[in-house]
């Protein structure tokens, strides 16, 4: 297992951050894909749609894109997956965006384990109804494929270790997340978090062994509910992620005041900070007030969702989860996403705000860190 002493120094992390403009990015799935397996499978990989939609993103002012990769794609079609990732990063670069590959993900909100092949259509009326985890929650718990998981991480990082199109490596999205929006949780045991912690820590060791040029990170994501006064990053997973990441990342689907508090907590680490998931209108996580705050505080950010599509992420989370976050489950407003399938904005003012703050003519802004 790796340890904090193996990560980048604060000086190196700050130099990396100082060499680029403020990062304003988007989490991406093409509108034609119901989940990341459908995005990356050879039968449904859709470069024409990807190119068109990334073009819209670049035109709006986004300069980075975060995207998840499927372990089962590498397991069944290694060369094809690497080729498609190379093509994707080329398309993104052509529109002025760097790529953040995310290697693992526990967000199996559809309730089914991942299967490499044709994916079912979305469940009507349910957000992220076919989201599958990578490598899959049951596989994380069983540990049956650890040697192949190690080979997968090492291979991906080795092939693209010095690729300038890689902004940074996000090794594991929301490790330990057990939420299900549709379907059945399956047979994995309740200790998913313990197994995810072990896999996450191994990921840092496996990736560092390849000496990548870009930094490594895993986001702190388990923030407390509004009526809790505890420090927001007290789970074992979050503590380990923050101690091992070269740059600090976090998730925040909360209002401006609470997100500002999270940034306050993280600033004591004296490293570049980026929020790799945010923007949920029903939770008062809105472009109108939070994008400007991220910019003014020099915190990079990646909003969730670009084009309304098969993920159905314009629909809200389950009502009890929305209320727990202090939000309104009313479906009058889109929950996530920015554009209609024809590229027109859901809210023209949001697009105008992004262009004004992050567009090519916008001033550069970075978080000030100590010498």
pLDDT higher than threshold 90 for residue 1: no
Q: What is the pLDDT of residue 185?
A: 65
How much is the average pLDDT of 85-94? 98
Residue 153 or 370, more confident: 153
Q: What is the pLDDT of residue 187?
A: 54
pLDDT band at 144, cuts 50/70/90?
Answer: confident
So where are the chain's domains? 22-358
Q: Are the CB atoms for 366 and 17 separated by under 8 Å? A: yes
Give the predicted TM-score (pTM) of the model.
0.94
Q: What is the distance between the alpha carbons of residues 56 and 205, in angstroms, rounded to a whole number?
A: 37
- Mean pLDDT of all residues belonging to the chain: 92
Q: What is the pLDDT of residue 361?
A: 55
Q: Do strands 248-251 and 64-68 pair parallel, antiparallel, or not at all (unpaired)?
A: unpaired
Q: What is the pLDDT of residue 2?
A: 42
3-state secondary structure the chain: CCCHHHCCCHHHHHHHHHCCCCCEEEECCCCCCCCHHHHHCCCCCCHHHHHHHHHHHHHHCCCEEEEECCHHHHHHHHHHHHHHHHHHHHHHHHCCCEEEEEEEECCCCCCCCCCCCCCCCCCCCCCCCCCCCECCHHHHHHCCCHHHHHHHHHHHHHHCCCCCCECCEEEEECCCCCCCCCCCCCCCCCCHHHHHHHHHHHHHHHHHCCCCCCCEECCECCCCCCCCCCCCCCCHHHHHHHHHCCCEEEECCCCHHHHHHHHHHHHCCCCCEEEEEECEHHHCECHHHHHHHHHHCCCEEEEECCECCCCCCCCCCCHHHHHHCCCCCCCCCCCCCCECCCCCECCHHHHHHHHHHHCCCCCCCCCCCCC
pLDDT higher than threshold 80 for residue 228: no
Pull the structure tokens for residue 247.
């740059």
How much is the average pLDDT of 324-347? 91
Q: Are the CB atoms for 192 and 137 separated by under 8 Å? A: yes
Q: What is the pLDDT of residue 327?
A: 87
How much is the average pLDDT of 51-73? 98
pLDDT band at 6, cuts 50/70/90?
Answer: confident
CATH homologous superfamily, domain 22-358: Glycosidases (3.20.20.80)
pLDDT band at 346, cuts 50/70/90?
Answer: very high
pLDDT higher than threshold 50 for residue 348: yes
Q: What is the distance between the alpha carbons of residues 130 and 121, in angstroms, rounded to a whole number?
A: 8
pLDDT higher than threshold 70 for residue 223: yes
How much is the average pLDDT of 73-102? 98
What tens digit of pLDDT does each residue of 252-295 get? 999 999 999 999 999 999 999 999 999 999 999 999 999 999 99
Q: What is the pLDDT of residue 330?
A: 76
Taking alpha carbons only, the member of 278, 269, 322 closest to residue 14 is: 269
Return all residues near 190 (Cβ < 8 A) that are at least 6 apart.
Answer: none
């Amino acid at each position: 297992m790796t340890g904090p002493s193996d990560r980048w120094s604060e000086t190196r992390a700050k130099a990396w951050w100082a060499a680029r403009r403020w990062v304003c990015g988007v989490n991406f799935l093409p509108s034609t894909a119901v989940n990341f397996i459908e995005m990356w499978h050879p039968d449904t990989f859709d470069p024409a749609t990807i190119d068109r939609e990334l073009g819209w993103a670049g035109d709006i002012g986004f300069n980075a894109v975060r995207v998840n990769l499927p372990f089962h794609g590498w397991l069944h079609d290694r060369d094809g997956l690497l080729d498609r990732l190379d093509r994707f990063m080329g398309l993104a670069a052509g529109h002025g965006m760097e790529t953040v590959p995310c290697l693992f993900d526990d967000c199996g909100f559809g309730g089914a384990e991942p299967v490499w092949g044709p994916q079912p259509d979305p469940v009507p009326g349910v957000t992220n109804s076919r989201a599958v985890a990578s490598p899959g929650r049951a596989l994380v718990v069983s540990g049956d494929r650890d040697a192949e998981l190690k080979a997968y991480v090492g291979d991906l990082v080795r092939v693209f270790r010095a690729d300038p199109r890689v902004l940074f490596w996000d090794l594991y999205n929301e490790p330990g997340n057990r939420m299900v929006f549709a379907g059945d949780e399956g047979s994995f045991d309740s200790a998913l978090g313990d197994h995810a912690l072990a896999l996450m820590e191994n990921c840092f060791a496996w990736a560092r062994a390849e000496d990548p040029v870009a930094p490594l990170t895993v986001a702190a994501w388990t923030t407390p509910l509004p009526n809790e006064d505890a420090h927001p990053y007290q789970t074992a997973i979050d503590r380990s992620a923050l101690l091992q990441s070269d740059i600090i990342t976090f998730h925040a689907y909360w209002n401006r005041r609470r997100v500002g508090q999270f940034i306050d907590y993280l600033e004591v680490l004296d490293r570049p900070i980026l929020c790799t998931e945010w923007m949920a209108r029903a939770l008062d996580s809105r472009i109108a007030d939070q994008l400007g705050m991220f910019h003014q505080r020099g915190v990079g950010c990646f909003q969730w969702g670009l084009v309304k599509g098969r993920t159905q992420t314009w629909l809200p989370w389950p009502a009890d989860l929305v209320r727990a976050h202090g939000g309104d489950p009313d479906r009058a407003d889109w929950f996530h996403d920015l554009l209609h399938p024809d590229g027109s904005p859901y809210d023209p003012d949001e697009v105008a705000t992004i262009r004004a703050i992050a567009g090519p003519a916008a001033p550069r802004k970075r978080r000030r860190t100590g010498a």
